[in-house]
A = this chain, B = another copy of it.
Amino acid sequence: MVERKTVEVCYSPNDYPLYKNDHDIVVVIDVLRATSAIVAGIANGLKSIIPVSTLEEAFNYKNEGYIVAAERGGDIVEGFSFGNSPYSFMDPKLKGKSVVLSTTNGTKAINTPENKIVIIAGLVNAKAISKYLLKENKNVLLLASGWRDKFNLEDTICAGAIADELVASGNFTSNEDSSIAAKYLYQSASRNYFGYLKSSSHRRRLKKLNLNEDIKFCLTPNQFDIVPILNGKEIVAL
């Protein structure tokens, strides 16, 4: 009998220390909107995206002449070119360029793991990620970015979608209850993401900010057949 690899789900960077062993690849998920924007940007020809956790780092890059995007609490931070709307990252003027990005939750999550392969996922490229993970056949942790260290529904559902596909292959198994619950939530949600997430806290938050087009974009699965990977300090296409 071949030993199956594990695929587990961690609900927030705050919980990461509890899950940090026993995996080789970390898949970071921030559906609304950081990782969806990163996937869209890389798929549309950005050279790279440099994720930074603090606004201080973001300002330093700006002073060095970089294009810098920064978001906090759903809003573009004053003094920066744009926030984390996926549409901003698909601007043809950015093709071939590097963009620095700092967001409330996503970039923090991306910079959390140490000495792991770090991959960037959203619902927009979930199938591409599953395909990659099946090929790599290593132990996987799906890391939801959450909301200010708390559990977040749309990230968990995206993690559940990827875990469900890996387990269905027969080559992966999940042992943690967090992973089992994420798969259950995905299975209930997958028929109608919009309805299921209607009451989610972050969707309400973004709706107030008139970001309905962004929400629709981020909840439309499998638009991009691309796997962004963290290479040193930069996210690039695999």
Is the pair A177, B149 in contact by a Cβ cutoff of 8 Å? no
A97 to B166, CA, bound (A): 52
The residue in chain B whose Cβ has the minimal distance to the Cβ of A148 is: B18
Q: Which of B150, B152, B184, B201 contacts A188 (CB 8 A)?
A: B184
Give every chain B residue within 8 A of A150 (Cβ-Cβ): 15, 18-19, 176-178
**Docked complex Cα distance between A186 and B197 (Å):** 17
Docked Cα-Cα span, A230 to B200, in Å, equals: 33
A177 near B147 with CB under 8 A, answer yes
- CB-CB under 8 A from A176, the residues of chain B are 150-151, 201
A202 adjacent to chain B (CB < 8 Å): yes
Q: Which residues of B sit under 8 angstroms from A180, Cβ to Cβ?
A: 153, 199-201
A110→B185 CA distance, assembly (Å): 28
Chain A: interface size category: 20 to 34
Question: Within the complex, what minimum Cβ distance (angstroms) separates A125 from chain B?
Answer: 22
A181 at the interface (CB under 8 A from B): yes
Task: Given A11-B11, A176-B201, A188-B188, answer yes or no on A181-B18 (Cβ-Cβ < 8 Å).
Answer: no
Interface residues of A in 163-192 (CB under 8 A from B): 175-178, 180-181, 184-185, 188
Would you give the shortest CB distance from A8 to chain B, in whole angstroms? Answer: 10
A sample of 10 inter-chain contacts (CB < 8 A) reads A11-B151, A14-B15, A14-B18, A15-B15, A15-B149, A18-B150, A19-B150, A151-B181, A177-B202, A184-B196
